[in-house]
Chain A
């Protein structure tokens, strides 16, 4: 596990109603499969995928909700120190779209100010069952200054693009921040994890 194996490490967190396809998006991207079974794999906390963008290695750490969204009980600590949020709804489910403002309130409360948020409408393979028009979602995303993308985890439509676009955006922001060198606010991630602390003092 060499830590130097990448140029950037970003934590990406998925949120949105249960059943919209978050877990499928992660598995499609990281493992290249669309699981027929439901739900997250028991005991898997986050998935890792390293991608290369313009010659730079970017390690993406992708966190799923562990099912805590089912009864609206996501821990605040889940949002902490996320670099990007993927807010997902299901284009065939009006209800999952209507819940978005509620999710945005949680983001506003617990996520860090600089977090990059992208709105994703999933399941476009089910075009005939669409309940949320693309224009409506685009307008909503624009009003909230979010990026917007429509995907199908099943058909692998736009899934790669989703994560790669995010990675590009995150790199852009990281470079910008370095330029500005604005240490106005203590950034999340400034603390150290215990394992990191311990390896420092043991060696």
Chain B
């Protein structure tokens, strides 16, 4: 398409489409600011993005090839009294230690995949097949040779990807490329171990693989904001259906409701009563609790005489804290967990259908609906700063166009290190993404969404948060599960997480794990921890605001709080994301719009409809006026 030029004047220019930036964009546009929202990538959501399987392979490849663009000299565009600040041209620093392993066979095993149900190709046979497959696959080297290995792998994947796409185009009949027999009943044993790498690629678009792994607390700030702003209408959500924990080599379900507690087979009657009493009591603050301030929550729990079982559940699965977390922090997260229970379901969490990458996009849509302009594959090369006022007056975009703005919001990774007074983050998150063939805790339903807490498996190891997604979340193909592991980095992602993977799943390195789900494919990488990125105190223009990338927390509070703070600095007088008018209230019913004479004359006037939503409408009109001037 022709390279249309952008308008040259905005109120707010925002660079980066991560969650915080997107919320700021929606908030500003909503109250009438003219917003330009850019991202240098071809996709939305930056490090918050979700990718199809093939998209993820491309992302991996890009992270091996990424080389900084040449810095161009834009000083000719300077005006009197201005100086230039160049932005960083690459963001390679936020992702590191990428490693990919494929443990499934490269090609389809034709007959098996086609025939609907000879379900009893016996367990043994399938396992043997699988073992063979593993021996054939080349990329099971150890961690040390990682550089070469990871460089090889993506290229190979890229080829596969093309092959996959080609076959899609040829077999155009939409139904033909779907192996109908598998799917709903695909958990049947026969199909279980048979998904090949070629199939993953072929069905690649059914995956939506998140770079960050988070959940939405049902009474957390993100859910509150989605509801308040009506952005929630752009997405759909599923409940996390169960909380699991890994303990003594087993995966156990954590009771989360009264019914769960009473149904629990792991708990004795006495334990059940104790747990109920404890949970009720901790909803209020007591003198007794205050006495434990500063001392570990574990100590407090111990002194409540709860016993090992309950202590484990309360510490690791409900409070989700570590053994040395202070009591007041532990209690706060316990209360947060309890408050979130029962709002939408049996656990405190929701997950967006199609993955977390939808969320920033939903806010971007809201921004666009209120007039915000969107341009991907487009960046800002430098800022023009007024020397006297230390304010950013304009930006120069990647096409060399000067765009003036009153405020500039930018994601941390676009800002070169030397501009920052405070050191770049030293902390990283370790991430693993697994595609597996079964749930870590099979149950009656094969459509469970599970949050799994894995306490440190050895002294000095990190606590790992694991989220297991089923195909009905639209994040993985039928017959597979998508498993996300996250922890604070101690070493590389592989060093931190592969011991957990080896224990809980069947991989070529694991022993006696035949009963565990098999890993078909997995990816390890480290990502900079956004909660460590300092967004204040840099030597930056006073109307420039930094957003950090994703943080390691389970919820979204960090980004939402950051966005709200930035919004308040830009527009201290305005409401943060007031409800957008509901289109349902602007109904042009078949009956009402019987095309009548005279409408052409009326054409162009604002829509009017009778009665009811008078207020909403007025509000909307005000909006229109504000944005049109």
Interface residues as binary, A46-85 with B (CB distance below 8 Å gives 1, 0 otherwise): 1111111000000001000011101111011110110000
A174 at interface (Cβ–Cβ under 8 A)? no
* Nearest CB on B from A92, distance (A): 16
Contacts of A197 in B (CB 8 A): 237, 239, 344-345, 350
Known pairs A68-B368, A185-B478; A77 contacts B234 (CB<8 A)? yes
**B interface residue count range (under 10 / 10 to 19 / 20 to 34 / 35 or more):** 35 or more
B593 at interface (Cβ–Cβ under 8 A)? yes
A67 touches B368 (CB 8 A): yes
Cross-chain pairs A/B with CB under 8 angstroms, 9 sampled: A42-B624, A43-B581, A48-B586, A49-B593, A73-B375, A76-B358, A78-B365, A193-B232, A194-B232
Contacts of A17 in B (CB 8 A): 1
Contact of B237 among A46, A51, A68, A191 (CB under 8 A): A191
Contact of A1 among B2, B584, B623, B627 (CB under 8 A): B584
- Give A145 to B172 CA distance when docked, in angstroms: 9
B146 at interface (Cβ–Cβ under 8 A)? no
B68 at interface (Cβ–Cβ under 8 A)? no
A50 touches B607 (CB 8 A): no
- Give A77 to B354 CA distance when docked, in angstroms: 8
B183 touches A185 (CB 8 A): yes
B368 touches A71 (CB 8 A): no
Chain B residues 436 to 486 lying within 8 A of chain A, measured CB to CB, are: 447, 471-474, 478
A4 at interface (Cβ–Cβ under 8 A)? no
Known pairs A50-B589, A193-B233, A198-B343; A80 contacts B184 (CB<8 A)? no
Determine the residue in chain A with the shortest Cβ distance to B342.
A201
Contact of B588 among A34, A37, A49, A66 (CB under 8 A): A49
Contacts of A50 in B (CB 8 A): 587, 589-590
A45 touches B580 (CB 8 A): yes
Interface residues as binary, A164-193 with B (CB distance below 8 Å gives 1, 0 otherwise): 000000000000000000011110111111
Query: Which of A25-33, A123-131, A134-142 contacts the other chain?
Result: A25-33
A109 touches B205 (CB 8 A): yes
- Give A42 to B588 CA distance when docked, in angstroms: 17
Q: A67-B368, A76-B358 are in contact. List 10 more A-B contacts (CB 8 A).
A: A17-B1, A33-B603, A45-B580, A46-B583, A67-B373, A68-B368, A71-B373, A76-B44, A190-B472, A191-B238
B500 at interface (Cβ–Cβ under 8 A)? no
Known pairs A71-B373, A80-B354, A109-B52; A194 contacts B223 (CB<8 A)? yes
B227 touches A194 (CB 8 A): yes
A108 at interface (Cβ–Cβ under 8 A)? yes
Nearest first, the 6 closest Cβ-Cβ pairs linking A and B are: A191-B236, A191-B353, A66-B368, A75-B361, A71-B375, A194-B232
B344 touches A201 (CB 8 A): yes
A94 at interface (Cβ–Cβ under 8 A)? no
Known pairs A36-B604, A70-B4, A183-B184; A75 contacts B471 (CB<8 A)? no
Determine the residue in chain B with the shortest Cβ distance to A105.
B165
Interface secondary structure of A, over-half rule: loop
B628 touches A42 (CB 8 A): yes
A195 at interface (Cβ–Cβ under 8 A)? yes
Interface residues as binary, A2-18 with B (CB distance below 8 Å gives 1, 0 otherwise): 00000000000000011
Known pairs A71-B374, A186-B474; A34 contacts B600 (CB<8 A)? yes
Interface residues as binary, B496-513 with A (CB distance below 8 Å gives 1, 0 otherwise): 000000000000000000
Contacts of B205 in A (CB 8 A): 108-109
B2 touches A95 (CB 8 A): yes
A99 at interface (Cβ–Cβ under 8 A)? yes
A76 touches B361 (CB 8 A): yes
Contacts of B620 in A (CB 8 A): 43
* Nearest CB on A from B39, distance (A): 8
- Give A70 to B5 CA distance when docked, in angstroms: 10
* Nearest CB on A from B605, distance (A): 9
B interface list, Cβ under 8 A from A: 1-2, 4, 6, 44, 52, 168, 172, 174, 178, 180, 183-184, 205, 223, 226-227, 232-239, 342-345, 350, 352-354, 357-358, 361-362, 364-365, 368-371, 373-378, 447, 471-474, 478, 580-581, 583-590, 593, 595-596, 599-600, 602-604, 606-607, 620, 623-624, 627-628
A41 touches B607 (CB 8 A): yes
Contact of A33 among B226, B580, B599 (CB under 8 A): B599
* Nearest CB on A from B425, distance (A): 28
Determine the residue in chain B with the shortest Cβ distance to A197.
B344
- Give A156 to B362 CA distance when docked, in angstroms: 33
Contacts of B377 in A (CB 8 A): 72
Known pairs A71-B375, A80-B354, A95-B2; A42 contacts B235 (CB<8 A)? no
B358 touches A186 (CB 8 A): no
Determine the residue in chain B with the shortest Cβ distance to A57.
B590
* Nearest CB on B from A110, distance (A): 8
Known pairs A42-B628, A77-B361, A201-B344; A190 contacts B353 (CB<8 A)? yes
Known pairs A80-B358, A191-B238; A34 contacts B603 (CB<8 A)? yes
A77 touches B365 (CB 8 A): yes
- Give A48 to B232 CA distance when docked, in angstroms: 18
A195 touches B227 (CB 8 A): yes
Contacts of A32 in B (CB 8 A): 588, 593, 595-596, 599
- Give A44 to B607 CA distance when docked, in angstroms: 11
Which of A30, A78, A191, A195 has the most C-beta atoms of chain B within 10 angstroms of its own C-beta?
A191
- Give A163 to B527 CA distance when docked, in angstroms: 47
Contacts of A76 in B (CB 8 A): 44, 354, 357-358, 361
Contact of A188 among B234, B370, B474 (CB under 8 A): B474
Contacts of A18 in B (CB 8 A): 4
